Amino acid sequence: MKNKRSIRKNYIANLAHWERRLRLGSGLILVAFVVPHLTNHALGIFSFEAMEALRDWLALVWRSTAGTVFLYGAMVSHFALALYSLFRRTTLRMSAWEAAQLILGLAIIPLLAFHAIFNRMVWELTTTEVDYQLVIATIWYKDFETWRILLLVLVVWAHLVIGLHFWGRVKAHYPTFLPFLYAIAVLLPVLALLGFIRSGLNQPYSGGEKYVDRMLNSPFNHKLQFIQSLEPITLWTFLGLLVGVLLAREVNRIYAMRHGVFRLQHAGGNSISVPVGRSILEAVRAAGIPHASVCGGRARCTTCRVRISWGLDRLPPSGQLEATALKRINAQPNVRLACQTRPQSDVTITPLVPANASPEEAYKAGGLSGSEQKIVAMFVDLRGSTALGQSRMPYDVIFILNQFFAELAEALSATRGHYAHFAGDGLLALYGLEGEFQQGCRDVLAGAAEMLDRLELLNKRLNHELDEPLRIGIGIHSGEAIVGTMGPPKAPTLSAIGDNINIAARLEAKTKVFKCNIIVSSDTVRHAGLIPDPTTEHKVAVRGRKGEIMVLALDSVNDIPGFHQLIITPSI
């Protein structure tokens, strides 16, 4: 039974993953069609010949078998995904831009139906070349069609721009390209409309009506009438699907209400009764509580993240999309994305990002903002780096340092360590951020062993480059610290501050005094579940702290009795 449940969860997680990819892929194909298409319209400012020249090239792509499959496949799947996401919404409360995106997207079908069907089907069924003059003539034939196309250009473009903007704005380099994209967003539709209007005014069939009448009376007229009859069929099918989805959504909602509710306690004081199946984001929105959601609930921005202070153990596990997003921001285990989490029993949440969050929040490591917790700090310093700099060319020094830091980073990732910052020739690493404190104490010892092993191998590898082997000093201490994202707004990192962090730095400095590789506080060793050997234990005074602390001065963590039995050091 449990196995069945986990298979279903995996299936749903994978489905969400592929749904997002399909939405993005189909959207980008449609962008690849719309942008050149509007550019083609814009050429109408110059002449029909210019329009035809580009159209011939575009027709080669989009009328080919592959182009047809991609284009129509993208249209159908994009529309189907829109209906599916409408069905899945348990509330129609949404932000203004999401509502605009949805309404504009749905409006495209009735506006586009005739234009798309006519252009393609005339060519397919009658082999009449649907060139610009013919298309413009059939559009200028009636005022209604003219206005419909003008509106279609604006609606399609607005839908596309909103979609691209909300996809791109959580990307780090988006602000760099924004002025350029902004210019395109304004200029392209304006030029396209001008080109369309000018070509309409200049079209050779001033009696457009006569031209279309002549077409309808041509030997192909029965085919043309059939083509015209497809428009109402398309519109009724669209309406039927839309109404069907809204009804199915309502049935689903009533079913969910009958099958249970959970209580959501919000840090702001509200307590909400929520039907099972609704996400936390949908629940708070339905209750009228503002909540950050830069990407509109697509697991991309992480601005909807909440800390679960009660009910965490009964939440369904994160799906692949959510887990990836949370990993990207180094979120703590009690942090979840409100847009992806659908509780089945009572929960208490605290939003971690202000409701009016900007896209920059998406770049920040998160979930640990300003929390105080017990962690383990490790300071590592490269010995003799000044001499290294004096004896070698700058390029060689950088090369050696990069190799050195790469090994340290590997050692950290192999032992669940998190680097807080590299500074000059040293680094601060944190352990125990994501798991238990005791496990962090064991991991940090494994990390120290891993670093020394890797350094030995690096020294062998760089044997011919170095006058003498690289050596490091490691200081380790544990205890309460303030952990959070810090640094300049565009480059914040997850780090920690506090007395215990300073002590780790001071212990590292003492490795020179004791002429050893590692100094670790005895308490950290005990928290790891080991008994310090009194012969290697020392009392040391640490600047900035009253009294002395007990430490172990070691050349290797293997000198701690029982280390090997307790800790399995990852192999290189």
Pattern of binders to ligand FES over 153-192, x per CB under 6 A?
Answer: ----------------------------------------
Q: What backbone phi and psi angles, to 5 degrees, belong to 481? A: -150, 160
Q: C-beta of 340: minimal distance to ligand FES in Å?
A: 6
With contacts defined by CB under 6 A, name the span among 234-242, 291-299, 417-425, 522-530 that binds ligand FES. 291-299
Burial class, 258, CB count within 10 angstroms (exposed 0-12 / middle 13-18 / buried 19+): exposed
Is position 359 an interface residue for ligand FES (rule: CB under 6 A)?
A: no
Task: Find out whether 487 and 493 touch, Cβ atoms under 8 Å.
Answer: yes
With contacts defined by CB under 6 A, name the span among 97-105, 188-196, 289-297, 459-467 that binds ligand FES. 289-297
Q: C-beta of 296: minimal distance to ligand FES in Å?
A: 6
With contacts defined by CB under 6 A, name the span among 2-10, 151-159, 260-268, 297-305 that binds ligand FES. 297-305
Quickly list H helices, 498-562: 499-514, 522-527
Q: C-beta of 295: minimal distance to ligand FES in Å?
A: 4
Q: C-beta of 303: minimal distance to ligand FES in Å?
A: 6
Is position 297 an interface residue for ligand FES (rule: CB under 6 A)?
A: yes
Which contacts of 486-493 are long-range, i.e. CB under 8 A and separated by 24 or more positions?
Answer: 489/360, 490/360, 490/363, 492/363, 492/364, 492/365, 493/365, 493/420, 493/421
Q: What backbone phi and psi angles, to 5 degrees, belong to 89? A: -65, 125
With contacts defined by CB under 6 A, name the span among 51-59, 300-308, 351-359, 468-476 that binds ligand FES. 300-308
Query: For residues 107 and 289, which CB has a smaller minimum distance to ligand FES in the complex?
Result: 289
Candidate residues 156, 301, 400, 560; the one interacting with ligand FES per rule CB under 6 A? 301
Return the DSSP state at 432: S
* CA pair distance 364, 356, nearest whole angstrom: 15
Query: For residues 315 and 549, which CB has a smaller minimum distance to ligand FES in the complex?
Result: 315
* CA pair distance 41, 39, nearest whole angstrom: 5
* CA pair distance 298, 24, nearest whole angstrom: 11
Distance from chain centroid for Cα 49: 44
Query: For residues 234 and 350, which CB has a smaller minimum distance to ligand FES in the complex?
Result: 350
Candidate residues 138, 303, 500, 522; the one interacting with ligand FES per rule CB under 6 A? 303
Is position 304 an interface residue for ligand FES (rule: CB under 6 A)?
A: yes
Query: How many C-beta atoms lie closer than 10 Å to residue 263's C-beta?
Result: 14
Q: C-beta of 294: minimal distance to ligand FES in Å?
A: 6
Q: Do the bridges between strand 548-554 and strand 518-521 make them parallel or antiparallel, or are there none, so unpaired?
A: antiparallel
> Rule CB under 6 A: which of 321-350 touch ligand FES?
325, 337, 339
Give the HSE-up count for residue 443: Cα atoms under 13 Å, Cβ half-sphere.
25
Is position 569 an interface residue for ligand FES (rule: CB under 6 A)?
A: no
Is position 294 an interface residue for ligand FES (rule: CB under 6 A)?
A: yes
Cα dihedral 75/81/87/91 (nearest 10): -110
With contacts defined by CB under 6 A, name the span among 149-157, 294-302, 308-316, 518-526 that binds ligand FES. 294-302
Closest-CA residue to 521 (of 443, 438, 441): 441
Is position 299 an interface residue for ligand FES (rule: CB under 6 A)?
A: yes
Is position 302 an interface residue for ligand FES (rule: CB under 6 A)?
A: yes
Contacts with ligand FES, residue ranges (CB under 6 A): 293-295, 297-304, 325, 337, 339
